[in-house]
Each structure stands twice: as C-alpha cells, then as structure tokens.
C-alpha cells in the first residue's frame, strides 16, 4: 500500500519529502515484520544472523523516522499557514527547507540506528517467538531512554505543542473565506481541505497516544529496574555479554498480563499506521486516477502491436500532448490555472460566473488561493 502511495506521488509529480519518507519507513517496517513473522512464527531459534543484524538496526531507524516524518508534514503545513505574502518563496528558503527535512527525516534516523544505538546495545539482537528479530535489549538507563526510546513521543509532542495549534487556528479563522472559495473554484475540493485537517491531526490522535502507551508498557515491565536506574552503567557493563537473546512465547505468557499485552501491542503497532496513512493519501481522487492510468498503461503495453498502431493512426500525427494537473474532478486544471482570474461581465447577471466572488481582485484573497494550492500539493 505504501508503494502505491509513492508511485502515485511520482505519477502526479507531487513530491513531498515528509510523505515520501513516511511511506518508505512504513514500507520497510511492514516488510521486515512480515518476513520475521513467517520465519519465527513457531520458534525463537537464533538463525539468519545477517538478516537480524541489519533489521535490528533498521527497526531503530524506522522507530525514529516514522515519528519524525509526520512532524515534517505538520511543519510544512505550518509554513504554509504562516505565508502572508503571495510572492514566490526564495530559492535559498527552499534549499534550507530541503536540508532540514532530509536531515531530520533520513540522516538522523540512520545515525540513531548506528553509533547512538550501539552505545546502549546490551546484546547482539533479540529473537522473540512470533515477532522475530528485535532490538529491545537496551541498557536500563537514562541515556538509553534519551538515545533510543524518547523518539516515540518527542517528535509528536513537538508537532502538537509548536506546529499543530497554528495550523488549526489558521484553518478556523479562514473557514468562512475558504467556504466561499470552495464554492466558486474547482482548484481544491472540500474533501481535500478536510483531509489536510486529518493529516495535521495524525500526531495528536495516533502517534502520540501510541508512543505513550508503548513507554507505559515498557516502564511497567521493567518497574523493578527503575529502583536502581542510573544514567549509564558504563561501556564494559553494557557490552560484556554480547550474545543473542532468545525469548519463547512461554516466557511471555509467564510474564503476566502486561507482558502479553505488550507482545500483541508490538504486533499491531506496525500495520495500524500503514492503514491510516494509506486511507489519507492512497484513496484520494488523484490517487484513484493514477491507479486507473497505470492500469490502462499496463493493459495497453500487453496488447497486440496492431492495437498500438491503430490507436496511433486514430489519434493523428498532429495532436499535441495536453499538459494538465489532475484535480480529482471531471475538469482538468491546466498548469496556468494556479490562480483564479477575475471574471469580467458586460451585463449584470449575464451568467452564473458573474455572481461568484472574484477572489483574485485583492491580495488577501490571492494569498488565500496560494495557501490552498500549496496545501493541495502537500496533501
């Protein structure tokens, strides 16, 4: 499903770094969990060492990147909400935004999964029956929480506290103008507008609660170790027993109710965000149009050569390709229609277009139109 979202983004030339990284991390996590579930469905044997060495590190990168990517999306909406002028964004500002997004969304997760993870890694990897290779064998210390576990709540918390209020407030204060604009233009639909609100609420409604529950279960499972919690037990103490830890399902059951709940919580925290993100990005009208175009393109590719030649003859040699942007409606939006031009009427009431509000006549309205168009590209 995440691959479909990525493919449709490429087809529609609507490339958003936050959305792309979110789909990549979710796709990696689901592939890893699927292979692990099949390989260790009924055993906790230490095998596939190379696979486990790689995926145990990737699990850490996914944990960090999966929580940072929605923060980047909300930050993009925040920047759009703060856009007061209709002047184009400078090249330097775009470059800086790209550097911030690539660094936070890709480079930092890889750094967290590499040297930072090794500092608090107490075992080579852990094999849990029913789950496969994991990276839960960390030193019970404050440094381990800061380097590895805080990323389940820190990025969603930053998004909710800093960016989310501004985005929601801007949507609320301009709701009346947006309602009139949506009724007079096909550039953006109300469904897209509501979907952006849902995208901005992913952190507060999904990721932050999931992170809090995960940390609560982790703290309850290791409540005895909290009494002797230290900042860092030391390099030799952490890396002295460098072995593979095997956890059969019987040990999980014997651990009590919270151990069982934590086990099944780990299973469902992987596919749940994927379904939510696919519902927000993969079921839109533009995405469905992309699926349809890809299906017909593949079908035409496997047709007989005669069908290709006849179709070209019917089309004619002088037909130029049309460059349009898909808006999810029956009327295509051309590349020159990013702004709504005023309608000039010689006679009052000559057409319905004359009775519609002319938003392009004022700079505030033009800024609103620019804002809505940027939102559509983000969504």
Give the DSSP per-residue string, 156-208: HHHIIIIIHHHHHHHHHHTHHHHHHHHTT-SSS-HHHHHHHHHHHTHIIIIIH
Query: 102-106, 300-304, 311-315: lowest mean pLDDT where?
Result: 311-315
In this prediction the pTM is 0.73
Q: What would the two tokens of residue 239 be?
A: 């890396």
* Residue 177 counted as domain residue: yes
232 class by beta-carbon count within 10 Å (0-12 exposed, 13-18 middle, 19+ buried): middle
* Residue 356 counted as domain residue: no
In this structure, what CATH number is given to the domain that contains residue 169? 1.20.1070
* pLDDT above 90 for 352: no
- Binned at pLDDT 50, 70 and 90, residue 175 comes out as low
* Residue 210 counted as domain residue: yes
Contact 39, 48 (CB under 8 A): yes
- Which one has a higher pLDDT value, 14 or 299? 299
* pLDDT above 90 for 64: yes
* Residue 51 counted as domain residue: yes
Query: For 290-295, which contacts have Cβ atoms below 8 Å and span 24 or more sequence positions?
Result: 290/7, 290/8, 290/11, 290/12, 290/326, 291/4, 291/8, 293/11, 294/7, 294/11
Residues whose CB is less than 8 angstroms from the CB of residue 296 and which lie 6 or more positions away in sequence, other chains included: none
Contact 45, 246 (CB under 8 A): yes
How many helices (H) and strands (E) in the chain? 20, 5
* Residue 16 counted as domain residue: yes
Contact 103, 80 (CB under 8 A): no
In degrees and rounded to multiples of 5, residue 25 shows phi and psi of: -65, -40
* pLDDT above 80 for 3: no
Give the DSSP per-residue string, 225-254: GGGG-BS---HHHHHSS--EEEE-HHHHHH
Q: Average pLDDT in the 348-373 region?
A: 46
* Residue 203 counted as domain residue: yes
How many whole angstroms separate alpha carbon 161 and alpha carbon 144?
24
How many whole angstroms separate alpha carbon 183 and alpha carbon 355?
12
First to last CA, the chain: 17
How many independent structural domains does the chain possess? 1
What percentage of the chain has pLDDT greater than the value 70?
A: 67
Q: What would the two tokens of residue 179 be?
A: 């309602």
Query: 75-89, 127-141, 196-210: lowest mean pLDDT where?
Result: 75-89
Residues whose CB is less than 8 angstroms from the CB of residue 225 and which lie 6 or more positions away in sequence, other chains included: 140
Nearest C-alpha neighbor of 267 from the set 102, 130, 153: 130
**Domain span at 19:** 2-285
| 216-267 pLDDT per residue, tens | 887 777 666 666 778 888 888 888 878 888 999 998 888 888 888 888 998 8
* Residue 345 counted as domain residue: no
* Residue 334 counted as domain residue: no
Contact 80, 40 (CB under 8 A): no
* pLDDT above 60 for 208: yes
């Amino acid at each position: 499903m995440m691959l479909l979202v990525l493919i449709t983004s490429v087809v529609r030339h609507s490339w958003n770094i936050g959305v792309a990284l979110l789909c990549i991390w979710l796709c990696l996590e689901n592939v890893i969990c699927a292979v692990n579930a099949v390989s260790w469905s009924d055993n906790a044997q230490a095998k596939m060492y190379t696979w486990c060495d790689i995926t145990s590190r990737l699990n850490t990168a996914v944990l960090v990147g999966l929580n940072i990517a929605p923060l980047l999306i909300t930050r993009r909406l925040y920047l759009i909400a703060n856009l007061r002028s209709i002047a184009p964004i400078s090249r330097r500002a775009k470059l800086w935004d790209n550097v911030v997004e690539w660094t936070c969304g890709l480079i930092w997760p890889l750094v967290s999964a590499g040297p930072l993870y090794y500092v608090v890694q107490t075992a080579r990897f852990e094999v849990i029956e029913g789950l496969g290779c994991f990276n839960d064998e960390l030193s019970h210390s404050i440094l381990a929480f800061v380097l590895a576990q805080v990323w389940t709540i820190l990025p969603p918390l930053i998004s909710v506290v800093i960016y989310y209020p501004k985005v929601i407030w801007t949507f609320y204060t301009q709701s009346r103008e947006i309602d009139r604009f949506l009724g007079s233009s096909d550039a953006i639909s109300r469904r897209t507008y509501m979907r952006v609100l849902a995208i901005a609420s992913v952190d507060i409604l999904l990721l932050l609660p999931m992170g809090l529950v995960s940390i609560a279960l982790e703290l309850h499972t290791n409540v005895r170790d909290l009494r002797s919690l230290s900042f860092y037990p030391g390099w030799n103490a952490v890396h002295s027993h460098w072995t593979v830890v095997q956890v059969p399902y019987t040990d999980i059951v014997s651990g009590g109710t919270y151990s069982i709940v934590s086990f099944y919580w780990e299973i469902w925290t992987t596919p749940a965000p994927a379904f939510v993100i696919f519902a927000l990005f993969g079921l839109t009208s533009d995405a469905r149009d992309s699926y349809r175009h890809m299906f017909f393109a593949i079908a035409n590719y496997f047709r007989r050569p005669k069908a290709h030649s006849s179709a070209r003859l019917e089309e004619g040699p002088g037909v130029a390709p049309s460059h349009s942007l898909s808006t999810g409606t029956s009327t295509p939006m051309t590349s020159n229609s990013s702004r709504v031009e005023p309608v000039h009427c010689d006679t009052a009431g000559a057409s319905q277009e004359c009775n519609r509000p002319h938003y392009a006549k004022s700079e505030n309205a033009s800024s609103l139109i620019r804002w809505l168009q940027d939102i559509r590209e983000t969504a």
